[in-house]
Structure 1
């Protein structure tokens, strides 16, 4: 295994996740946020394969990857590894939809198919309803019907040349499951005194745990039946501590949150929850330094096609879903990018009864891949 490229991709994804989360939390203050950093990172890494000049430089710096070859080789190993894990369902898939008759460069196609394991399909985007139906049908199939209607027909027309799509789906059971009879209706505090009712699950078992004085938070790791997959939950000490926690997480690598933990008896109270989100990524990606890819005049994707048409990204969307219950969790996300031709996320009490942050991670050989954050 190409350890160097793999490590760079894992590290790059983690840094990307951190910055993405901080911008998202600021833009969506007070709302539930949930996203898949790896889904966005993969689809952008695919687009990186076709970039040149200052556009390629922007990808390198924003994705925290040295060059496009590191991205492709590293993700080949990440995807092969994630798609072969046992005892949980975890699938990642890529697909490129291209306008009928639009010529793709052989090098770009080879990188997409052999390294990103991407399928390619030709569509007539002028038939926008039919094209959107086909793309959305593929995404729905890959995410067990959790992500629907990723691409709106209004995003497609006769000038659309490429649609790059990544879909990720996860479903896993807790290694130590909550008993349904212990789930009770309790209060979840959205401010110091204001609360809403929730279904609170309860379990006392040995878990990896630590209290972090710098973050002013408790950190709990809950494993799935495949113990390489875990959910890390960061719970502020104070009911109203979520905004302060988000500020402190600016300089913290999500992939290292589980370091320094020790196994101890923890009395866990965790609400059942379900979150669904839809995001237009242009604002966030622009703030992360990728504004050039949306610029009709400046974007340089000359390594994608031999055509004289100047390509740019007209739309970047992600839909994400997570449901956590007594058995475990189910999560899915899909990210789509549309390219146009320029018109010529002792017993220690851990009571999650106020806002907290989760990170769903895959760990293998010392490297943690951040799959979802919310």
Structure 2
């Protein structure tokens, strides 16, 4: 799974660099994991150039090269499932046949298997947070779908491919997609597709919508939230609701970039938000740009490791946030190198449908994040108060100017969300 996490994180930063070209000095917020998983669903049914381009852009080719012993857990689990379903008498022959038999698309199947394990781990957190990853393919009903593909999408990606009537009833199809996304996001993501964004020429749509909200491990007391300036640029500021909290936090400092990195854990410590805050200067956006240019998978792993982020007594100031963003990714992904699947004459999605005319019409990614004092529910304050009273000296972390952040699943070190805040 480590290779998959590395591939997803590398794609995260490549995607950010591409998005930043059209979102210069704007807020950015997206889910690299859900995007990778969504595109991997397409990869499962892609062949030839359509598959190779996805592998290169999402670093899946590195995953297959580095799989090593990672191949065993998925194939072993499939073997055990088959053995469990077979009779005792047939177990030996079933095991031998599975060992000898190679899957028809081994790299894509292995990739999907590991995605399945990772998504299952995330599903187990739903009792502690609201994390809705709504991925689904909608295909024109005139294109027959391979049963093996439908089964694999359910097994590995915990979703389905739905047949709709884009050609004869585009508006009904649009409404059905919007309704599903709204229901999956607890009503937070509405009208994913506005009118006229889908046409009767649409044949295959990849929908990717994510909503997240969780409770802080150390919650901010709303009585300490005050109006305060957020320094947008050299000569501009805006008033925001600034939350304040004192307590023990993991805090690091990136010397070469003069940047603080703070970890704020969510309840039970399974998830954390990491905030990378450049030093306040006359031009805060320049410091932010320098930080963004230097972020890589290897560096972020080093910067955020426990050895470089000791626990300190920290006075934290952090703005309330509601980030909502929507990206039509056709152009973005094509600029990154995924072109064949969007071209009716070049796409090879024969693993999805035997019809040679199937191609990807549209990819939409929409996200919603809320950050407030409590998350979704307040918790008892006594423990925090005791920690505050016993502290004698404090480090200061004041996020009153632009910063970068990411939300990570700590057990797997998977980056669930990545964003830039220029204006809360």
Using the size of structure 2 for normalisation, the TM-score is: 0.78
| 3-state SS in 2 of match to 1:266 | strand
Aligned residue among 120, 130, 143 for 1:102: 143
Partner of 2:414: 369
Q: Take 1:153 and 1:313, find their aligned partners in 2: how far apart are those partners?
A: 19
Measured at CA, do residues 170 and 281 of structure 1 come closer, stay the same or move farther in structure 2, by a change above 3 Å? same
Q: Take 1:243 and 1:166, find their aligned partners in 2: how far apart are those partners?
A: 28
Partner of 1:343: none
CA contact (8 A) 1:189 1:355 kept: yes
Q: Take 1:69 and 1:79, find their aligned partners in 2: how far apart are those partners?
A: 15
Q: Take 2:279 and 2:34, find their aligned partners in 1: how far apart are those partners?
A: 31
Matches within 5 A, 1:1-374: 6-65=1-60, 66=64, 67-85=107-125, 86-125=127-166, 126-239=168-281, 240=284, 241-250=287-296, 254=300, 257-259=303-305, 260-308=308-356, 310-328=357-375, 346-364=393-411, 367-374=412-419
Post-superposition Cα deviations, 1:309-361, rounded to whole Å, max 9, x if no partner, equal: x222222221222221111379xxxxxxxxxxxxxxx4110011100011011
Post-superposition Cα deviations, 1:240-291, rounded to whole Å, max 9, x if no partner, equal: 1111111112565545542121111111011112222121212321232212
Point out the more displaced range, 293-302 or 192-201.
293-302
| 3-state SS in 2 of match to 1:122 | strand
Q: Take 1:167 and 1:186, find their aligned partners in 2: how far apart are those partners?
A: 32
What is the aligned-residue RMSD (CA, Å)? 2.0
Partner of 1:334: none
CA contact (8 A) 1:255 1:369 kept: no
Q: Take 1:314 and 1:262, find their aligned partners in 2: how far apart are those partners?
A: 48
- In the TM superposition, residue 368 of structure 1 has moved relative to its aligned partner by 0.8
Post-superposition Cα deviations, 1:185-224, rounded to whole Å, max 9, x if no partner, equal: 1111012342111111111100011011123210000001
Measured at CA, do residues 291 and 307 of structure 1 come closer, stay the same or move farther in structure 2, by a change above 3 Å? closer
Q: Take 2:361 and 2:140, find their aligned partners in 1: how far apart are those partners?
A: 15
CA contact (8 A) 2:252 2:262 kept: yes
Point out the more displaced range, 253-262 or 21-30.
253-262
- In the TM superposition, residue 26 of structure 1 has moved relative to its aligned partner by 3.2
Flag the structure with larger Rg: 2
Point out the more displaced range, 97-106 or 186-195.
97-106
Measured at CA, do residues 123 and 282 of structure 1 come closer, stay the same or move farther in structure 2, by a change above 3 Å? closer
Q: Take 1:284 and 1:254, find their aligned partners in 2: how far apart are those partners?
A: 24
- In the TM superposition, residue 135 of structure 1 has moved relative to its aligned partner by 0.8
Larger helix proportion of the pair: 2
CA contact (8 A) 1:172 1:329 kept: yes
Measured at CA, do residues 194 and 95 of structure 1 come closer, stay the same or move farther in structure 2, by a change above 3 Å? closer
CA contact (8 A) 1:79 1:92 kept: no
Q: Take 1:282 and 1:89, find their aligned partners in 2: how far apart are those partners?
A: 28
CA contact (8 A) 1:277 1:321 kept: yes
Partner of 1:336: none
Point out the more displaced range, 281-290 or 162-171.
162-171
Q: Take 1:106 and 1:256, find their aligned partners in 2: how far apart are those partners?
A: 44
| 3-state SS in 2 of match to 1:313 | coil
Using the size of structure 1 for normalisation, the TM-score is: 0.88
| 3-state SS in 1 of match to 2:295 | helix
Any gaps of 5 or more consecutive residues in structure 1?
Answer: 1-5, 331-345
